[in-house]
Amino acid sequence: MKDKNIGFIGLGNLGSRVANNILKSGFNLFINDLDKKKSNKLIKSGAIWCSSLHELSSKTTIIITCLPSPESVNKVLNNLLPHLNKNHLWVEMSTTDESEMIRLANLCSEKNIQTLEAPLTGGQHKAESGNISILVGGLRKNFDRAFPILSSIGHKILYCGILGSASTLKVVTNYLASINLLALGEALMVCKKYGLDLATSYHGIKISSGNSFVHETESQVILNGSYDVGFTMDLVCKDVGLFDKLTDKFNIPADISKLMKKIFDEGKHKYGDRSLSTSIVKRIEDYCELSLRASGFPRTLLDTDKKKKGIEIKF
């Protein structure tokens, strides 16, 4: 194994699960986060805490960041850069702005530091099991170098091409997931108002042409009432904003995107930055003075499949 020592920065809901799968795959894992308390479980499992980015970079050859916003990525990378050298590969796993990703990669390139973008998609429960999907952009040689680590993190891994391509595709997929969430809230409320049993409605949608990944996952925690997908309103607003920026950049008449951004911004203002993204459905529940609840649905999502071997998706 060429790169045995892996650095990981950002131990939030997603990052902590990703880091744990790297650790379980036999890599030496060196970790850092603004909040050391988030590292306790990983340390007990064998991860090594680094109190500074200098310490982390001196002990590793591949460094992964998994952070909540382009601003936080920029801050961490600029603090990390003085400690990196030509032997390092930086792998950025956040959902971020493609132009910002390219700008930061150019800063790395000036020091002969290699860069790869590898945003994750599929949800927190898939990150937990190690079956999450990964979109990857950057030089093919960097993809090949990072593939053993990517394989430990996820199942389906797609090489998208040049840097910026994976970030753009991830923003597109998050846009589609978010708009599906809004549509499901409206659809379930129509069922409720009509008098349909919501469990029956869930399964009817699931076996129909209207089914989707979002329905099979997020509808369950909406019907439970927990709304718990581990993804928050500020993050969905960030992602919708990134998509909106792309439509403006390419002068695309994206009426749906503009309306969706307005709805989620209103939801963030009403329910709070750290409210769960699925709580956007409360807009409809509050207006109709009805709750979308049904028995038999889980409070949190769980991927019951065992870890599948990481594979590159080829076509």
Full pLDDT tens readout for the chain, 315 residues: 489 999 999 999 999 999 999 999 999 999 999 999 999 999 999 999 999 999 999 999 999 999 999 999 999 999 999 999 999 999 999 999 999 999 999 999 999 999 999 999 999 999 999 999 999 999 999 999 999 999 999 999 999 999 999 999 999 999 999 999 999 999 999 999 999 999 999 999 999 999 999 999 999 999 999 999 999 999 999 999 999 999 999 999 999 999 999 999 999 999 999 999 999 999 999 999 999 999 999 999 999 999 999 999 999
Q: What is the pLDDT of residue 273?
A: 95
Q: CB-side exposure of 87: number of CA atoms within 13 Å?
A: 11
Q: What is the pLDDT of residue 258?
A: 95
Q: What is the pLDDT of residue 188?
A: 98
Nearest Cα neighbor of 15 from 64, 91, 66 is: 66
Domains in the chain, CATH or no CATH each = 5-167+304-312 (3.40.50.720), 172-288 (1.10.1040.10)
Nearest Cα neighbor of 277 from 224, 220, 228, 208 is: 228
Q: What is the pLDDT of residue 2?
A: 85
Phi, psi (5° rounding) for residue 28? Answer: -85, 120
Q: What is the pLDDT of residues 237-279, one digit of tens each?
A: 999 999 999 999 999 999 999 999 999 999 999 999 999 999 9
Q: Which two tokens stand for residue 152?
A: 């430990």
Burial of 287 (0-12, 13-18, 19+ CB in 10 A): exposed
Q: What is the pTM of this model?
A: 0.96
